[in-house]
Amino acid sequence: MLSLKNKKAVITGGGSGIGKAIAQLFAKQGAEVHIIELTTEVAQEAANEIKALGGSVEVHACNVADHAQVQKVFDKIGNLHILVNNAGIAHVGKADTTSEEDFDRVINVNVKGVYNCLFAAIPKMKAAGGGAILNMASIAALVGIPDRFAYSTAKGAVKAMTMSIAKDYLADHIRCNSISPARVHTPFVDGFLQKNYPEQIDEMFDKLSKTQPIGRMGLPEEVATLALYLCSNEAAFITGCDYPIDGGFTTLNN
């Protein structure tokens, strides 16, 4: 069950947080994992841990917002069976407090970056006989989140792209789904608290945890388990779907 043996998987942003958990689990299940990160240094710890457990992994330095860079990396990787578009950046701000520069930066990474990887990967997935694409959306694509205008805009686009890809490539045996997490406990959260609330870390961590009705943040490993299922042969009948993994955030916060 849930074996990825003889599958080649590309995971963007696979050096930390959710992406790292996905890379590690996919390698454990037998996939040949290719991690794309802005620098190889960012992904080296994840790669070392995978290799220590006998997994197959290669790291590629690439800015997903750069079309030519992405194409070059995917040409090097060759035919593939799984693409996880996980790389992304956050931003805090409303429509009238988000600068044009910040808006463009978020869109370039979170939307154009996904497009660039889709553009490069789909022909190679066709050549492999089909495959599975998983895009990382967010609950911000489903409900209103305060002060997340640019981020919500981008993640809404990612969800829409997921549906479009799923429809367009049915005949090519390419499935496409997305995951919409709520708050997940990653190094990003720890860094955010340390930077903004150095004297109230425990208090703010508890407050952020309780925004999920289940009473805690998600774990990267929990998101990775859902990703594994959606990219495995066991999910062969699933395409064009978005899966909230949110501790009840989108349905129980009333």
What are the pLDDT digits (tens) for 129-160? 999 999 999 999 999 999 999 999 999 999 99
Local confidence band at 192 (pLDDT 50, 70, 90 cut-offs)? confident
pLDDT at 231 over 90: yes
pLDDT for position 99: 98
pLDDT at 46 over 90: yes
CB 23 within 8 A of CB 228: no
pLDDT for position 187: 87
Mean pLDDT (the chain, rounded): 96
What does the alpha-carbon distance between residue 203 and residue 122 come to, in Å, rounded to a whole number?
45
For the chain, which domains are there? 8-182+220-245 (3.40.50.720), 185-217 (no CATH)
Residue 115 known to be catalytic: no
What does the alpha-carbon distance between residue 225 and residue 237 come to, in Å, rounded to a whole number?
18
What are the pLDDT digits (tens) for 59-112? 999 999 999 999 999 999 999 999 999 999 999 999 999 999 999 999 999 999
The whole-number average pLDDT for the span 232-237 is: 98
List the beta bridge partners of residue 176: 133
One-letter amino acid of 112: K
List the beta bridge partners of residue 37: 61
What does the alpha-carbon distance between residue 35 and residue 226 come to, in Å, rounded to a whole number?
19
Q: What angle do CA 172, 87, 239 make, to 5 degrees?
A: 30
pLDDT for position 191: 86
pLDDT at 244 over 70: yes
Local confidence band at 254 (pLDDT 50, 70, 90 cut-offs)? low
How much is the CA Rg of the chain, to the nearest whole Å? 18
CB 9 within 8 A of CB 80: yes
- The closest of 176, 155, 158 to 167, measured between CA atoms, is 176
The whole-number average pLDDT for the span 239-247 is: 97
Token couple for 246: 């949110």
Local confidence band at 195 (pLDDT 50, 70, 90 cut-offs)? confident
Which candidate in 151, 197, 229, 243 is catalytic? Answer: 151
SS3 of the chain: the string is: CCCCCCCEEEEECCCCHHHHHHHHHHHHCCCEEEEEECCHHHHHHHHHHHHHCCCEEEEEECCCCCHHHHHHHHHHHCCCCEEEECCCCCCCECCCCCCHHHHHHHHHHHHHHHHHHHHHHHHHHHHCCCEEEEEECCHHHCCCCCCEHHHHHHHHHHHHHHHHHHHHCHHHCEEEEEEEECCECCHHHHHHHHHHCCCCHHHHHHHHHCCCCCCCCECHHHHHHHHHHHHCHHHCCCCCCEEEECCCHHHHCC
The whole-number average pLDDT for the span 210-233 is: 97
